[in-house]
Amino acid sequence: MTVQQHGCISLYLSHDRPFVELEVRTDCGYIRKARFLVDTAGGALILTEALARDLELVFEDEAVSCLGKHIFRRVRPPRLLVGPCELELAQISALMAVGTSSLFPGEDLNGILPGFLLSRYCVLLDYTMGTFSLSPGSAMATRGEPVPISFHPNSYFPCVEATIGGEQYSLLLDTGASCTMLSDGVMGKWVRQFPAWPRASCAVGAANMGVPGEEHATMMRVPLMTLGSVLLKNITVVSHPGSTCEEAHLKHMSAPMMGALAGNVLRQFRIEIDYMHAMSYWEWNDDAYPYDMDMVGLTLALNADSSYRIAAISDGNYACVRRSVRVGDRLLQVNGLKMTGLPLSMAVDALRGSPGQRHTLLLEREGELRSVSVATGRIV
């Protein structure tokens, strides 16, 4: 028996993250669609100010809280429906991100749907077919390979056990991140223990998620990882500060975690999460392309005017890239495609290509325009 689709809607991928369109209703009878990121590791229901104002939501207090780059106010949440299934939001507050029309620059993103709101259901994320569905919490899903999950009873952040290099690691199942992450400490140990594993400096491609410190990251290709009976081959991982991976969510997890299993792996699967029975089910799509880091390896950072600058240049690039591009250059165009205003996913994708393929970059350096031809490489 598979998940009974109590609520079933389309799922869209952007930068290996799953987006869904929910029906939003207010007590006054106003109905509209809004796009949400499904974030199994999200700790709060978050809405943009533009959505909250459009829905005329009621502020619950005057308190303002800061988290990361956003300032938040608490609002009474609207009704949210996944198809015909209305999510249970009793005694739940939403956070409004002050001054926002989108939560990701360039993306049409009205809110973040956190995992704890889904914990009363069996959840289906079918990345390969593009569907997202919920079934009653009593349903048992059995399609795919079983992988046990654990979670803290308060947070419902799902965690899986992965075996890498003969050792076991607790990894957060994080649909809101685009690239699988491991702590600096773990990655440093692997560099010494497995020197043949391909690695490169800084975060590029799916690992370029627009967060601080990506220019100091290390990327590595792990030849084999197992989740129960599920085999994962040639997985790209990126380092993350140990304090983030091991401490930031410690009070919300059932066990210390060493990292997060994210979209660059999850996109290859149809995944069912049965919170009630602490089990997940994984069905692999064998059409997944294994070389996800064939590109011009540049770490992009967003400027205030929605343009992109080069924050770092990977040492996995060909020499022509390292000669032609400098940290601090503004990236204006790739093969004639204007970068300013694009979501990060599209800007990163413009740099992809088969190894040796040429791209023409239009750069601005110290007020001067420069057109350079560079070649894509297999970064890791």
Higher-confidence residue: 289 or 230? Answer: 230
Backbone angles phi, psi at 353, to 5 degrees: 165, 170
Alpha-helix residue ranges (DSSP H) falling in the chain: 49-55, 184-193, 242, 263-266, 319-324, 344-349
**pLDDT given for residue 110 in this prediction:** 98
Equal fold, 140-284 vs 294-378: no
Which residue type sits at 340? T
The two tokens of residue 275 are 């919170």
CATH of 7-117, one of 3.40.50.20, 2.40.50.100, 3.30.470.20, 2.40.70.10: 2.40.70.10
Distances (CA, A) of 177 to 16, 49, 167, 168, 277: 8, 23, 23, 21, 25
Question: What does the angle CA 159 – CA 144 – CA 82 come to, to the nearest 5 degrees?
Answer: 70
Alpha-helix residue ranges (DSSP H) falling in 82-150: none
CATH of 294-378, one of 3.40.50.300, 3.30.9.10, 1.10.1060.10, 2.30.42.10: 2.30.42.10
6 pLDDT more than 80: no
CATH superfamily of 140-284: Acid Proteases (2.40.70.10)
Residue 161 near residue 148, CB atoms below 8 Å? yes
What single string gives the DSSP state of each residue in 57-78? PPEEEEEEEEETTEEEEEE---
Stretch 229-243: mean pLDDT: 88
**Which stretches of 138-213 are assigned E, i.e. beta strand?**
145-148, 159-164, 167-173, 180-183, 199-201
Three-state secondary-structure class, residue 339: coil
Name residues whose C-beta falls within 8 Å of residue 27's C-beta, 6 or more positions apart in sequence. Answer: none
195 pLDDT more than 70: yes
List residues bridging with 233 in a β-sheet: 224
210 confidence band (pLDDT: 50, 70, 90): very high
**pLDDT given for residue 244 in this prediction:** 46
**pLDDT given for residue 63 in this prediction:** 67
Domain boundaries, the chain: 7-117, 140-284, 294-378
Q: What is the pLDDT of residues 240-289, one digit of tens each?
A: 875 444 444 445 555 578 999 999 999 999 999 999 999 999 999 866 66
Three-state secondary-structure class, residue 305: coil
Region for residue 311 given its phi and psi (left: phi exceeds 0; alpha: psi -120 to 50; beta: otherwise): alpha
235 confidence band (pLDDT: 50, 70, 90): very high
Q: What is the pLDDT of residues 58-70, one digit of tens each?
A: 988 766 777 667 7
The two tokens of residue 247 are 């401490």
Name residues whose C-beta falls within 8 Å of residue 198's C-beta, 6 or more positions apart in sequence. Answer: 220, 221, 380
